C-alpha cells in the first residue's frame, strides 16, 4: 500500500478587511519583506499592504510583476529578494503572481505570505507553482518543500474584483471533486506525492457541495460588490477547499486538458485558467461515462455563471482536427496528471473533446440558445 500524504498551509485567514491585520500576523517574523504585485494590483491592494506593513515596522522592497509565471520572471524577482536580504516574501494578486511569489520565497528560504485579491484559482494554498514559458505556454509544475506560511484573503477586496474572476475560481474548484474522485478510483498519486487521504476526499466533496449550493448566490453578490455569507462560502470553497482538495487529493484529466489548450495559439490565451478548466472538466466527465443528467448539471451551473461550455465559447469555433489532436497529445504527454485518473490515448481524448462540444451545443439548443 502506498503512503497517505496530506499537506496544507500553516495558517489561513479570510474575512472582511482581513488584510488590515497583516502586520499582526507577521509580528516577530522578520524586518524586510519583498512585496510582489502586478501594475493593476499595486493600486487595488499592494500600496495598502505596504502601508499596513510600515505600521508594523516592516521594511518593504516593492516589485512590479510582469504578468507571466515564467522561470525568467521568478529568477529576476529572486535576485531582488536576495539583494534586499528579505526574510518575508508577500505575493499580492492572482494565480500567476502568487505562483511566482512562492518560487521566489523558496529560492531565498523566506516566510511566504499569499494575499489573493481574487478567488480565481486554487493556487494560493499549495506548495507548488505552475511554470509557463514567457509566451504563456504550460511548461511544468515546480514543487516546494513547504506550503505558504500564511494565506490571507480580504473578502471585501474579492467582492470588488470582476465577477468573471470568481466564476473562474468556481470552475477551477468544480474540477476538484471530479478529479479527486478519478484519482481515488484509479489509486493514482496526488500532487502531494502519495495516496489520497480520507481528509482530502472529504474536503473535495464538501467543495463540490458548497459550490452547487452557493455559487450563483455568490456570483450575484460579487456583481453588486457586496460581501455575503454565500460569497464567504464560495471564497473558501474556491481557495481553501479546492486548494487542499486538489493538492492532497489529486489532479486528473481536466487540468491535463487545460494544459493541452495552452499549447494552441490565438484568442484562447485570453481565457482564464478556470474557463479552460471548465471545458476540461466537461471532457473528463464525457470520458467517464456519466449520465446525461450528471453532465447537464455541470453545464447548467457553468452557463448560469457565464462560463464556457462549447469550443466556440473558448474561442475555438473552427478548430481543426489537427489542433484538437495537438491538445490531446499535450494532455496525454508523459507525466501528465491524466494518467493518475485513468488510462487513455490521445485519440480518445480528441474524440471526447469533439463529443463534449456537440453535447454542449445540443444542450444549448434544448434551452433555445442559438449558436452564431
In the complex, least distance from residue 277 CB atom to Zn ion, rounded to whole angstroms: 5
Interface positions, 145-174, toward Zn ion (CB under 5 A): 172
Is 38 annotated to bind a ligand? Reply is yes
In the complex, least distance from residue 126 CB atom to Zn ion, rounded to whole angstroms: 10
Nearer to Zn ion, 171 or 328 (CB): 171
CA 74 remoteness from chain centre: 18
Nearer to Zn ion, 102 or 364 (CB): 102
Residue nearest to Zn ion (CB): 172
Q: Which residues fall within 8 angstroms of residue 252, CB to CB, at 6 or more apart?
A: 178, 179, 180, 182, 183, 188, 284, 337, 338, 340, 341, 342
Is 136 annotated to bind a ligand? Reply is no
Closest CA to 91 of 125, 57, 58, 59: 125
In the complex, least distance from residue 187 CB atom to Zn ion, rounded to whole angstroms: 22
Is 228 annotated to bind a ligand? Reply is no
Is 233 annotated to bind a ligand? Reply is no
Q: How far is CA 358 from CA 283, 311, 321, 339, 354, in A?
A: 11, 9, 14, 25, 6
In the complex, least distance from residue 27 CB atom to Zn ion, rounded to whole angstroms: 33
The size of the interface with Zn ion (CB under 5 A), counted in residues, is 1
Instruction: Give the ranges where the chain is alpha helix by DSSP (H).
Output: 22-25, 39-41, 47-55, 71-84, 95-108, 155-159, 163-185, 198-223, 229-236, 242-249, 253-261, 273-287, 292-304, 321-331, 338-341, 346-366
| Backbone Cα Rg of the chain | 20
Interface positions, 68-107, toward Zn ion (CB under 5 A): none
How many Å apart are CA 340 and CA 90, to the nearest integer?
Answer: 33
In the complex, least distance from residue 30 CB atom to Zn ion, rounded to whole angstroms: 30
x/- track of binding to Zn ion for residues 227-266 (CB under 5 A) = ----------------------------------------
Q: How far is CA 180 from CA 6, 195, 199, 234, 275, in A?
A: 13, 11, 12, 19, 19
Interface positions, 315-344, toward Zn ion (CB under 5 A): none
Is 291 annotated to bind a ligand? Reply is no
Is 118 annotated to bind a ligand? Reply is yes
Nearer to Zn ion, 128 or 344 (CB): 128
Please report where in the chains the cell 434551452 appears, as a residue. 367
Nearer to Zn ion, 149 or 247 (CB): 247
What are the residue numbers of the active site? 172, 255, 258, 273
Nearer to Zn ion, 172 or 236 (CB): 172
Sign of the Cα pseudo-torsion (112, 134, 246, 20, in order): positive
Does residue 275 belong to the site contacting Zn ion (CB under 5 A)?
Answer: no
Chain contacts with Zn ion (rule: CB under 5 A): 172
Detail the residues annotated as belonging to a binding site for glycerol.
122, 172, 255, 273
Amino acid at each position: 500500500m502506498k503512503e497517505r500524504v496530506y499537506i496544507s498551509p500553516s495558517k489561513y485567514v479570510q474575512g472582511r478587511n482581513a488584510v488590515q491585520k497583516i502586520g499582526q500576523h507577521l509580528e516577530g517574523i522578520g524586518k524586510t519583506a519583498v512585496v510582489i504585485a502586478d501594475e493593476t494590483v499595486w493600486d487595488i491592494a499592494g500600496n495598502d499592504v505596504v502601508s499596513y506593513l510600515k505600521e508594523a515596522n516592516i521594511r518593504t522592497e516593492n516589485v512590479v510583476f510582469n504578468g507571466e509565471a515564467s522561470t525568467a520572471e521568478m529568477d529576476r524577482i529572486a535576485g531582488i529578494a536576495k539583494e534586499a536580504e528579505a526574510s518575508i516574501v508577500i505575493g499580492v494578486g492572482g494565480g500567476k503572481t502568487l505562483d511566482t511569489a512562492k518560487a521566489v520565497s523558496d529560492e531565498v528560504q523566506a516566510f511566504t505570505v499569499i494575499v489573493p485579491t481574487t478567488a480565481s484559482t486554487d493556487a494560493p494554498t499549495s506548495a507548488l507553482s505552475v511554470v509557463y514559458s514567457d509566451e504563456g505556454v504550460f511548461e511544468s509544475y515546480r514543487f516546494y518543500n513547504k506550503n505558504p506560511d500564511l494565506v490571507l484573503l480580504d473578502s471585501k477586496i474579492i467582492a470588488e474584483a470582476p465577477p468573471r474572476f470568481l466564476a473562474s475560481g468556481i470552475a477551477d474548484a468544480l474540477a476538484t471533486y471530479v478529479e479527486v474522485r478519478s484519482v481515488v478510483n484509479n489509486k493514482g498519486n496526488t500532487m502531494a506525492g502519495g495516496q489520497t487521504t480520507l481528509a482530502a476526499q472529504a474536503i473535495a466533496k464538501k467543495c463540490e457541495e458548497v459550490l452547487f449550493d452557493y455559487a450563483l448566490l455568490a456570483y450575484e453578490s460579487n456583481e453588486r460588490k457586496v460581501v455575503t455569507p454565500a460569497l464567504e462560502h464560495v471564497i473558501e470553497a474556491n481557495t481553501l477547499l479546492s486548494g487542499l482538495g486538489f493538492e492532497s487529493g489529486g489532479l486528473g484529466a481536466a487540468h491535463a486538458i487545460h494544459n493541452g489548450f495552452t499549447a494552441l495559439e490565438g484568442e484562447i490565451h485570453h481565457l482564464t485558467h478556470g474557463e479552460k478548466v471548465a471545458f476540461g472538466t466537461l471532457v473528463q466527465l464525457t470520458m467517464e461515462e456519466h449520465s446525461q443528467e450528471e453532465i447537464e448539471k455541470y453545464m447548467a451551473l457553468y452557463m448560469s455563471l457565464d462560463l464556457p461550455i462549447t469550443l466556440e465559447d473558448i474561442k475555438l469555433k473552427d478548430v481543426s482536427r489537427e489542433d484538437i489532436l495537438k491538445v490531446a497529445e499535450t494532455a496525454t504527454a508523459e507525466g501528465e496528471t491524466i494518467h493518475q485518473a485513468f488510462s487513455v490515448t490521445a485519440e480518445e481524448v480528441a474524440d471526447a473533446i469533439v463529443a463534449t462540444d456537440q453535447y454542449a451545443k445540443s444542450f444549448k439548443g434544448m434551452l433555445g440558445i442559438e449558436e452564431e
